[in-house]
Chain A
Amino acid sequence: MLDDLRNGNRRTLARAITQVENRTPAALELLNTLYPYTGNAYLIGVTGAPGTGKSTLVNALTKHIRTQHKTVGIIAVDPTSPFSGGAVLGDRIRMQDLAGDSGIFIRSMASRGQLGGLAQTTADVVRVMDAAGFDYIIIETVGAGQNEVAIATIAYTVIVVDAPGLGDDIQAIKAGTLEIADILVVNKADRPGAENTVRALKTMLTLGHRQQYVAHHGRVMLHSAEAADIDTWEVPVLKTVALESKGMDELFTAIHKHRQHLQSTGQHEKRERQRLESELLDRLQHLLLERFLTEKVSPEQLDGLVRQIVIREIAPAQAASELIGS
């Protein structure tokens, strides 16, 4: 399977992604064997409110990247319905221009309601595409709370998309979204009000201070930057008309500049280290708990302890310590 994947077999790639999404044992094994072949793609996150034109932008940006003969993998995540567990994934509608190009692979993904898990599943799907050899991997997600923070932990450059005419003054950008942006895009610049949106965003940028997120499995740690660590990157605010492929040259240049900034300041390496350390610790935590619960504690014992906690006989923390000690 790994050979087929690395030789560009698209069917194998598609099936491997399904396995990873379903977290099958075969997928876990594949992820282990392909890991040495990852780390080569450049990862770009695109997030923002619904309807701002993210998918249209991904379409236009990808066409631009293809003029430079680089290959692009796209992962478009849409929310799963909390009521049925199903989803309508419609991002491909805006990416029709990309059909018939073997240098592009588009995969739609439902969030499947895994808050923290989405980050890990997406990171794993990214690794499969990475091992398949794509130069760029673009991840589109709807900016709605935890998800966009989750992308920030996966992507090297995060583009937050806004558009005029979506909300009141301060458009659709929510607090928390601005902080994760490496590049801000005001799309639909053909519409009235684009200048106002640009101005509003620039004001918000000067008010806020950038924070650096490190996270995995939805566990977000906010590193208050130490003096030497302060990221000096100045977030540009760019105007685009994705529908007409306008502004893509400037956007791609900004992505490239950010990439160089991360490299030259050592941030890239540092962030990668933090990301992977955090993933290792998360996985360790998960495995240890699983092992402990299967080997050391019977369900009856656990049940009895919970009952004692409920009737206030023992505190949760004390119960945990006693279990570990036993």
Chain B
Amino acid sequence: MSIRVLVAKVGLDGHDRGAKVIARALRDAGMEVIYTGLQQTPDMIAEAALQEDVQIVGLSILSGAHMTLVPRVLESLKNHELDDVKVIVGGIIPADDVDKLKAIGVKGVFGPGSKTDEIITFIREQVADANA
């Protein structure tokens, strides 16, 4: 069974180079990556996660607006009854905020220095846990 991951770029900042690098790395690790492009709203992300039946949603946020955007994505997922979908966040996120994000349900936070191998291993573990 393939691992399916939605990679989405939230917020208004304009480039998606980082998100694309991650998408390709996950593909090279054998995952099916649904890539949705720039400027996704929380509802668009939840809707895509539902239709694509992904186990993981990876959010890329560079705008600094993570403390407003991530809770909205989590809420929208909940409204779509997708509580079991696991959310990870990539971006430049201060340590304080990392703790806050984890407290509201984000499973993993990956800064700019993170190795793709680390992210891949984390996703595999999360999916294995869910299937266990």
Chain B contacts for A84, CB-based, 8 A: 27-30
Please judge, given known A-B contacts A99-B44, A100-B47, whether A87 and B32 are in contact too, CB under 8 Å.
yes
Inter-subunit contact A88/B33 (CB<8 Å): yes
Which parts of B37-83 form the interface with A (CB within 8 Å)? Answer: 37, 41, 43-44, 47-48, 50-53, 80-81
Please judge, given known A-B contacts A81-B27, A92-B37, whether A14 and B32 are in contact too, CB under 8 Å.
no
- Which of A11, A22, A83, A108 lies at the interface centre, i.e. has the most chain B CB atoms within 10 A of its CB? A108
Contact of B28 among A18, A81, A110 (CB under 8 A): A81
Chain B contacts for A205, CB-based, 8 A: none
Chain B contacts for A11, CB-based, 8 A: 50, 80-81
Contact of A86 among B33, B43, B52 (CB under 8 A): B33
- Indicate if B36 sits at the interface (CB-CB under 8 A): yes
Inter-subunit contact B44/A10 (CB<8 Å): no
- C-alpha spacing A88/B25, complex, angstroms: 10
- Indicate if B131 sits at the interface (CB-CB under 8 A): no
Inter-subunit contact B29/A89 (CB<8 Å): no
CB distance from B83 to the nearest CB of A (A): 12
Please judge, given known A-B contacts A11-B50, A106-B51, whether A92 and B35 are in contact too, CB under 8 Å.
yes
- Indicate if B24 sits at the interface (CB-CB under 8 A): yes
CB distance from B66 to the nearest CB of A (A): 22
CB distance from B77 to the nearest CB of A (A): 12
Contact of B27 among A10, A87, A108 (CB under 8 A): A87
Inter-subunit contact A86/B29 (CB<8 Å): yes
Inter-subunit contact B51/A14 (CB<8 Å): yes
Inter-subunit contact A10/B53 (CB<8 Å): no
Contact of B48 among A80, A81, A83, A92 (CB under 8 A): A92
Chain B contacts for A14, CB-based, 8 A: 50-53
Inter-subunit contact A86/B50 (CB<8 Å): no
Chain A interface helix/strand/loop/mixed: mixed
- Indicate if B127 sits at the interface (CB-CB under 8 A): no
Chain A: which residue is nearest B7 at the CB level?
A88
Contact mask for chain B residues 1-32; partner A; CB cutoff 8 A; 1 contact, 0 none: 11010000000000000000001101111111
Chain B contacts for A108, CB-based, 8 A: 32, 34, 52
Please judge, given known A-B contacts A84-B30, A86-B31, A88-B27, whether A105 and B44 are in contact too, CB under 8 Å.
no
CB distance from B119 to the nearest CB of A (A): 14
Number of interface residues of B (CB under 8 A): 28
CB distance from A88 to the nearest CB of B (A): 5
Chain A contacts for B34, CB-based, 8 A: 89, 92, 108
- Indicate if A85 sits at the interface (CB-CB under 8 A): yes
Please judge, given known A-B contacts A84-B28, A86-B28, A92-B34, whether A15 and B2 are in contact too, CB under 8 Å.
no
Chain B contacts for A92, CB-based, 8 A: 34-37, 48
- Which of B43, B48, B50, B53 lies at the interface centre, i.e. has the most chain A CB atoms within 10 A of its CB? B53
Chain B contacts for A80, CB-based, 8 A: 32
CB distance from A269 to the nearest CB of B (A): 33
Inter-subunit contact A15/B53 (CB<8 Å): yes
Chain B contacts for A87, CB-based, 8 A: 27, 32-33
- C-alpha spacing A260/B53, complex, angstroms: 36
Inter-subunit contact A88/B44 (CB<8 Å): no
Inter-subunit contact B35/A88 (CB<8 Å): yes
Chain A: which residue is nearest B48 at the CB level?
A92
Contact mask for chain A residues 102-118; partner B; CB cutoff 8 A; 1 contact, 0 none: 00011110101000000
- Indicate if A159 sits at the interface (CB-CB under 8 A): no
Contact mask for chain A residues 132-149; partner B; CB cutoff 8 A; 1 contact, 0 none: 000000000000000000
- C-alpha spacing A81/B29, complex, angstroms: 10
- C-alpha spacing A21/B123, complex, angstroms: 21
- C-alpha spacing A131/B81, complex, angstroms: 23
Chain A interface residues (CB < 8 Å from chain B): 10-11, 14-15, 17-18, 22, 80-81, 83-90, 92-93, 96, 99-100, 105-108, 110, 112
Closest 8 CB pairs of A and B: A93-B37, A86-B27, A14-B53, A86-B30, A85-B30, A18-B53, A99-B44, A90-B35
18 contacts between A and B (CB under 8 A): A14-B51, A80-B32, A84-B29, A85-B30, A86-B28, A87-B27, A88-B24, A88-B33, A88-B35, A89-B32, A92-B37, A93-B37, A99-B48, A100-B43, A106-B51, A107-B52, A110-B2, A112-B2
